[in-house]
């Protein structure tokens, strides 16, 4: 498990965003990293918000699991880094 610094928050912080996208509470959903296979709840993932959007990374191998970018009122969602996301 990587130690996070203050640049990161965690998946709790994107609960509202995920409700907007998935229409359901997702912080307790289980994500599997497509790179290292580690399994954790969304609330436990590391989250970075560099201004343009939101980047969610694996706590073990730091792979980008999800990105969310809002452009002209449309949120673009990329879940390519996840092997699975289960609620």
Partner 1 sequence: MRTLRLEVADWPGHRAGQHLDVRLTADDGYQAERAYSIASAPGEPLTITVERLDDGEVSPYLTEEAGQGDEFEVRGPIGGYFVWEPAFGGPLLLAAGGSGVVPLRAILRHRVRTGSQVPVRLLYSSRSWEDVIYSSELDCPPEGVQVIHTLTRSQPPAWTGYARRVDKEMLAEVAWPAAPSSSGGPLAYVCGPTSFVESVATGLVGLGYPADRVKTERFGATGQ
Q: State yes or no: residue 6 binds partner 1 (CB under 8 A).
A: yes
Q: State yes or no: residue 9 binds partner 1 (CB under 8 A).
A: yes
CA distance 8 to 40: 17
CA distance 33 to 56: 11
Closest to 82 measured CA to CA, from 21, 35, 18: 35
Q: State yes or no: residue 7 binds partner 1 (CB under 8 A).
A: yes
Q: State yes or no: residue 44 binds partner 1 (CB under 8 A).
A: yes
* Of the residues 22, 25, 36, 37, which one makes contact with partner 1 according to CB under 8 A: 25
Q: State yes or no: residue 19 binds partner 1 (CB under 8 A).
A: yes
Termini Cα distance of the chain? 23
Interface with partner 1 by CB under 8 A: which residues? 3-13, 15-16, 19-20, 25, 27-28, 41-44
């Amino acid at each position: 498990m990587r130690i996070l610094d203050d640049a990161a928050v965690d998946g709790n912080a994107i609960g509202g965003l995920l409700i907007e996208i998935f229409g359901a509470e997702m912080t307790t959903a289980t994500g599997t990293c497509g790179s290292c296979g580690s399994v954790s709840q969304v609330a436990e993932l590391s989250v970075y918000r560099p201004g343009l959007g939101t980047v969610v990374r694996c706590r073990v191998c730091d792979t980008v699991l999800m990105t969310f970018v809002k452009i002209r009122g449309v949120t673009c969602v990329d879940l390519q880094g996840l092997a699975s996301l289960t609620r």
